[in-house]
Copies of this chain bind each other. A is one copy, B any other.
Amino acid sequence: MDTLTIVKIGGNVIDKPAALQSFLKGFAALESPKILVHGGGTLATELLEKTGVPVRMYEGRRITDAGTLKICTMVYAGWINKTIVAQLQQAGCNAIGLSGADADTVPATKRPPAPVDFGFAGDVVAGRINVPVLSLLLGNGLCPVFCAITHDTQGGLLNTNADTMASAIAAALSETYRTKLLFCFEKGGVLADPDDGNSVIPEIDTAYFQQLKAQKIISKGMLPKLDNAFAALRAGVAEVHIKHADHLLSANAGTRIRVEM
């Protein structure tokens, strides 16, 4: 079984051109086959403000009305995705930018409007990811680069969480490949002390995760990331790591997530 690496790169890195370029050079140097999933950054929020579309959030999550979906699709599938693809091409990586609508790679379901109506928000089901098309692209030396826009297969686009998308894609491809999922962002890993960048926890298993949650050591933003990490492992992903974008190529950097140590 070939090893497939799925890398998620977070929005904070995308907002910094030099950090992004350095990360992409590292990604290009990673052994193939590989897939990149990217987040959104702040450009969508800036453009929503400039064009007068109100930014609406609920408990830190964006509510996607029609105007917001249009801006998010423009920014994520347009500017960010194509900028990343062009830079990877320059670095010798044969990137192909995709949304979940393209080749029906990632169909999704519009989130039910109750208890909270998140609008055009899509939930991905790992079992419906188009494994044959992704295997075709990967098998022919192409590197899929996903933005977190999906479709409902009825003509509608949906805004999706990039961590969940990366986790679901990795899980779906675990039938065909030994999968390695790397969540890269602007911190060294999961931190024992959020104010100390050097307090990276090297390994977290299910029991330790419960303990860290109970002690409130793991902060709000990190909770869904860890939920996605464990979901991926339970769905057959071989390895999951959370690490700094600059340490992509260092095998031992960051936090390794395991079901059991």
Contacts and interface: CB of A to CB of B under 8 A. Distances in A.
Contact of A156 (B74, B86, B102, B157): B86
Interface residues of A, number: 41
Interface stretch (A92-100, A205-213, A223-231, A232-240): A92-100
B101 A89 contact: yes
A70 interface: yes
A87 B102 CA distance: 11
A149 interface: yes
Interface string A119-157: 000000000000001001000101000000101011111
Interface class of chain A by DSSP: helix
A103 interface: yes
Contact of A155 (B90, B102, B136): B90
Interface in A26-63: 47, 50-52
A136 B136 CA distance: 9
Interface of A: 47, 50-52, 70, 73-79, 81-83, 85-87, 89-90, 94-99, 101-104, 133, 136, 140, 142, 149, 151, 153-157
